Chain A
Amino acid sequence: AQKITQTQPGMFVQEKEAVTLDCTYDTSDPSYGLFWYKQPSSGEMIFLIYQGSYDQQNATEGRYSLNFQKARKSANLVISASQLGDSAMYFCAMRASTGRRALTFGSGTRLQVQP
């Protein structure tokens, strides 16, 4: 079974500052993928970034980077230079590379960017 834990129900950050959203996971699968999605108030889930369990380097996509620490089973999202439009719910998710293809989601972190 897979489990994702997001321990920060809410976070505040000042505009232009960096913020880290925490995610830890548990799985017995040797190969898996980790994802972060953003859900603004409009409701649509927007894919942000992906990290494979065997990737040697941390994933980056523009202002988003994933701090992947395999031994600690953590996959924290770092948003640099926060913008007001970053205010949203953020979900960490994982999926095994074999067997069930469904995503397992964490409970989410609500990020509010303050001017």
Chain B
Amino acid sequence: GAGVSQSPSNKVTEKGKDVELRCDPISGHTALYWYRQSLGQGLEFLIYFQGNSAPDKSGLPSDRFSAERTGGSVSTLTIQRTQQEDSAVYLCASSFQGRDTQYFGPGTRLTVL
């Protein structure tokens, strides 16, 4: 079956612009996660959605970052007023329930000039 998909695969933007990254989880998976992978910080958790529960936003690095999940499926990660330190690969993962194995998408490589 189809895996986790993310779009765009690459995004180049100018400092100060807003960007939106999209994640389509595996069909039927109720849990969705966003992570960020950068050279200096490794893999960092950003935000977690489970069903209709309030999201766990404890990993978001600043209030410029936000995410939503519509209809319990597709999720959008928004970064406002991008900074150069936001340059990283943003990975989305989903799992059947919050306790199960997380399956990752191919990531979106964000470059902020």
Chain A residues at the B interface, C-beta cutoff of 8 Å = 33, 35, 37, 42-47, 50, 91, 93, 97, 100-108
Partner of A43, one of B56, B102, B103, B107: B107
Instruction: Give Cα A43 to B43, complex, Å.
Output: 12
Say yes or no: A50 contacts B101, CB within 8 Å. yes
Question: Mostly helix, strand, loop or mixed at chain B's interface?
Answer: strand
Not counting A37-B104, A100-B56, A102-B48, a sample of 8 additional A-B residue pairs whose C-beta atoms are within 8 angstroms of each other reads A35-B102, A43-B89, A44-B105, A45-B93, A101-B33, A102-B35, A102-B56, A103-B33
Chain B residues at the A interface, C-beta cutoff of 8 Å = 31, 33, 35, 42-43, 45, 48, 50, 56, 58-59, 89, 91, 93, 98-99, 101-107, 109
Instruction: Give Cα A50 to B101, complex, Å.
Output: 8
Residues of B within 8 A of A45 (CB): 91, 93, 104
